[in-house]
Amino acid sequence: MQLVIVESPAKAKTIEKYLGPGYKVLASYGHVRDLPVKDGSVRPDEDFAMDWELYGDKQSRVKAITDAAKEADRLILATDPDREGEAISWHVRELLSKRRALPKEVERVTFNAITKATVTEAMQHPRALDQDLIDAYLARRALDYLFGFTLSPVLWRKLPGAKSAGRVQSVALRLIVEREREIESFRAQEYWSVVARLEQGGTEFQARLVRFDGEKLDRLSLGDEGVAMRAKAAVEGATFRVEEVETKPARRNPYPPFTTSTLQQEAARKLGFSASHTMRVAQTLYEAGAITYMRTDGVQMDPSAISMARKAISDRYDGHYLPEKPRHYETKAKNAQEAHEAIRPTDFAKDRYGSGDEARLYDLIWKRAIASQMASASLERTTVTLREGTGRHELRATGQVVKFPGFLAVYEEGRDQKQDAEDDDSGLLPMMNKGDTPAKRGVDATQHFTQPPPRYSEASLVKRLEELGIGRPSTYAATLQVLKDRNYVRTEKNRFFAEESGRMLTAFLERFFDRYVAYDFTAGMEDELDDVSGGRAAWKQVLAAFWRDFKPKSDEVMEKKPSEVTAALDEFLEDYLFPPKADGTDPRLCPKCGEGRLSLRGGRYGAFIACSNYPECKFTRKFAQPGGADGEGGDEDGALGKDPATGLEVVRRSGRFGPYIQLGEGKEAKRASIPKDIPELDLEWALKLLSLPREIGAHPESGKPITASIGRYGPYLAHDGKYARLRSTAEVFETGMNAAVVKLAEAANGAAARGSRAPAEPLKTFGPHPTSGGEIKLMAGRYGPYVTDGTTNATLPRDKQPEALTLEEAIALIDERAAKGPAKGKKKAPAKKAAPKKAAPKKAAGEKKTAAKKPAAKKAAAE
């Protein structure tokens, strides 16, 4: 029997069908083991020795593989054709070797598509495991571990609120934060455009003023309304003649087929998919045999695939759409063994596959791959120059005509930003000759303002990371997801916004670890890892060079006092936190007491700005709220004003669970928490919050009231014991009856569709408990994270970061909780008392009847 190992059960079932009898195909379900999440898993002092731990949920899977391997004559490792796939095969081989279950014959097979022809062909050409790729995996895994496990403890101790840092994720976060800084420092500039509406031969067109009073105009030349109006008047009062008509042919060549990163970019632009969703859908298509492997840096296609594509083109279009020779694209990847074929359909005759998101993504892949082998598009660009008699004023009209669409008939690449209307040259121009005088239908002067650089979308961020050579396209989806999960960034309308914690972390890293978040350093590390996978560098030497500088730097920062770190960040962020004021006054002067100086402080829940005269002056300001508006004192405790209805004072206070507002004193006082999304707390907002819940009206069907309020989990609607979430605090006061009824109905339908919820997924698994044998898991609970072995639950101490929890600490917490006995309220005494009573018949036969009745009564209660 020949044993074949692949990653997914879907692949296993399909491939076993292709190979037929004599083969047994099992799935590893991805990686089977990893570095334990604790200190010492990588030991630089022991020549970078590494410990590996079996995933807790892979015990039964590995046992099945081991049992099958003991009966197999040959082991065929057929995991994915990339660095990760090579690593999974290596792990499986190492595990079987340790368990003395490794067959004598072990071979590696790769294929980039799951079709019968591809799989059976690959089986005829096995090879040995690629040690260079394995070394590259080991280097990358050890590097990421050392970076994260060395830096994260520094963050926990020196930067309140920080959760973790990663080699690639920190650089991606820096890109987002730097863009945020650019937007904040941007100052819009006013400019005007003057456009004449002209007509020639019954066709209207537009011409832009490009020269005024003999001066060539650039984008910002007409800087105010006065100049713009003079220019407009000059155009209105002059007669313009055609001086030049320039027509140039142009060609546009098709784009190469998709790589991993270009697929993520286009799916984000055209389909609105996140990078992680794109990869999940692509994985499904790959495992179904519809497309080739979706993790690739290559743009080339197999010759047989090119032939299929050309046949599909000739079947669908006339001969002009098929170029005489096939198109060949070259891959920029350094390592030939990693430059796999581009992402393409396995069968070009199928222009549709699947349904829903699968169908949409397949359509995108099919069109891009087909277009890559089609003829170029032929265009004609026309530029017409018009001047008035003196030659001091000049208009220009541009147009573009598609003479032959070629590949554009199938596919055109999306854009990250819409092109400005003023740069649009896609319109048609009428036939004009030198000396013509088009009729003037009007002149428009339009005001514009320069725009700040746009925030990154997933598509543009992935593109930028790839341009900088940072990370690998196959890991971008996971990297961006970590930034969201850590709450370092948020997304709104598919754009990344840096959160307060993300900005603070980036500032910390730039100040103390600037080299390690530098773009060129991170890109250089990628080059070194590529050298390892290409056999041009030794992986342990690469790690040693990194560790030699990184470890002393982290030790140096760890020795600093928190106050020293805060002071250094206060100075580093001065331009952002305390920008110069328009009136020239000191931006650090406290707006409340007028004497103290403002500076950055570190607190349990993160950084904030405070007055040096504390506790006499309690002025505070959020870290993420730069200077300027702090004179309002929006975050300080104190009186907001008096309630006109009761005459009682409304005050803002800080409590154990955050800031809140209070009306009155003592037991009769009304209180309300202050939501984070209130732009600026004033008396009006405070009275609104204190008035909740707000009654919207009676439900048109039940007649029962619908109310809006803010609860523990945010703003919501309530009606007859049913609830619906609202997106913001503002909606609590703005939602009307119609919208409320719709939201409640949608929430009810969603709850019905979900039915019984699936069990919560663990945040982390540690392995079996040495005493109970139950799997130890870290879970997110209603009252905070906790660990459990399936029998005993133990809450994590408040000062313990979940990411830093080790197996030993988890066991100690569970054992300590178990020693205290069952939690209050769980009364099990009657069950425990039953055992002694069963032993009573040995002493007194007369008690047998009583003992016999107990189980009967217990059974009746159960029924």
N-to-C CA span, the chain:
52
- Which single residue is written with the structure tokens 């590529």? 530
pLDDT at 335 over 70: no
Give the tens place of pLDDT for each residue, 164-185.
788 888 999 999 999 988 888 8
Give the tens place of pLDDT for each residue, 268-284.
889 988 888 999 899 89
Please compute, for residue 832, the number of CA atoms within 13 A of its CA located in the half-sphere on the CB side. 5
Provide the 10 A C-beta neighbour count for residue 794.
Answer: 20
Higher pLDDT, 825 or 402: 402
Between the ranges 184-193, 652-661, 679-688, 801-810, where is the mean pLDDT highest? 184-193
pLDDT at 226 over 90: yes
What Å distances lie between residue 414 and 254, 265, 364, 418, CA to CA?
Answer: 13, 9, 11, 9
pLDDT of 471: 82
What is the reported pTM?
A: 0.66
Per the prediction, the chain carries an average pLDDT of: 83
The tokens of 247 are what? 């027509």
What's the average model confidence in pLDDT over 467-494?
85
CA distance 414 to 404: 20
Q: Quick one: DSSP state of residue 270?
A: I
pLDDT band, residue 654 (cuts 50/70/90): low
pLDDT band, residue 9 (cuts 50/70/90): confident
What's the average model confidence in pLDDT over 591-597?
87
Between the ranges 462-471, 612-621, 843-852, where is the mean pLDDT highest? 462-471
pLDDT at 391 over 50: yes
Q: Which of 703, 268, 303, 720 is nearest to 496 (CA)?
A: 268
Higher pLDDT, 493 or 254: 254
pLDDT of 633: 40
pLDDT of 854: 40
pLDDT at 37 over 60: yes
Helix, strand and coil percent figures for the chain, each rounded to 5 = 40, 20, 35
pLDDT at 196 over 90: yes
Is position 293 annotated as part of the catalytic site? Answer: yes
Stretch among 82-86, 414-418, 802-806 having the lowest mean pLDDT = 414-418
What's the average model confidence in pLDDT over 195-199?
94
CA distance 458 to 477: 9
3-state SS class at 760: coil
CA distance 677 to 767: 41
pLDDT at 577 over 50: yes
Q: Which of 318, 373, 316, 324 is nearest to 344 (CA)?
A: 373
pLDDT at 770 over 80: no
pLDDT of 606: 67
- Which single residue is written with the structure tokens 């079987």? 96
pLDDT at 399 over 80: yes
pLDDT of 69: 92
Q: Is the dihedral of CA 640, 645, 647, 648 positive or negative?
A: negative
CA distance 496 to 493: 9
- Summary count for the chain: helices (H), strands (E): 24, 32
CA distance 25 to 12: 5
What's the average model confidence in pLDDT over 31-57?
90
Are 336 and 133 in contact by the 8 Å Cβ rule? The answer is no
Largest CA distance in the chain: 129
The tokens of 640 are what? 């907001």
Are 411 and 252 in contact by the 8 Å Cβ rule? The answer is no
Between the ranges 9-23, 653-667, 826-840, where is the mean pLDDT highest? 9-23
pLDDT at 533 over 90: no
CA distance 854 to 844: 16
Q: Which of 195, 192, 215 is nearest to 204 (CA)?
A: 195
Strands 23-27 and 2-6: parallel
Q: Which of 703, 739, 272 is nearest to 725 (CA)?
A: 739
pLDDT at 442 over 90: yes
pLDDT at 362 over 90: yes
pLDDT of 458: 86
Q: Report the DSSP beta bridge partners of residue 395.
A: 209, 386
pLDDT band, residue 188 (cuts 50/70/90): confident
* Backbone torsions φ then ψ of 493, nearest 5 degrees: 50, 45
Quick one: which H or E segment has residue 651? strand 649-655
* Backbone torsions φ then ψ of 713, nearest 5 degrees: -105, 15
pLDDT of 823: 53
pLDDT of 850: 40
> Which member of 23, 137, 191, 293 is catalytic?
293
Q: Which of 33, 24, 31 is nearest to 8 (CA)?
A: 31
pLDDT band, residue 652 (cuts 50/70/90): confident
Give the tens place of pLDDT for each residue, 51-71.
999 988 888 889 999 999 999
Q: Is the dihedral of CA 652, 654, 657, 662 positive or negative?
A: negative
pLDDT of 831: 45
pLDDT band, residue 839 (cuts 50/70/90): very low
Concatenating the DSSP letter of every residue in 22-90 gives TEEEEE--S--EE--SSTTSEEGGGTSEE--EE-GGGHHHHHHHHHHHHH-SEEEE---SSHHHHHHHH
C-alpha 225: how far from its chain's center? 43
pLDDT of 424: 53
Q: Report the DSSP beta bridge partners of residue 610.
A: 599, 620
pLDDT band, residue 830 (cuts 50/70/90): very low
Q: Which of 240, 558, 198, 269 is nearest to 412 (CA)?
A: 269
Side chain identity at residue 131, one-letter code: Q
Are 342 and 259 in contact by the 8 Å Cβ rule? The answer is yes
CA dihedral 623, 628, 629, 630 (to 10 degrees): 60
pLDDT of 775: 79
pLDDT at 487 over 90: no
Higher pLDDT, 863 or 843: 843
pLDDT band, residue 416 (cuts 50/70/90): low
What's the average model confidence in pLDDT over 588-611?
82
The tokens of 611 are what? 């007055």
CA dihedral 440, 441, 443, 448 (to 10 degrees): -130
What's the average model confidence in pLDDT over 834-841?
42
pLDDT band, residue 291 (cuts 50/70/90): very high
What's the average model confidence in pLDDT over 409-429?
63
pLDDT of 128: 93
Considering just the CA atoms, what is the radius of gyration of the chain in Å? 34
CA dihedral 140, 141, 145, 146 (to 10 degrees): -40
pLDDT band, residue 832 (cuts 50/70/90): very low
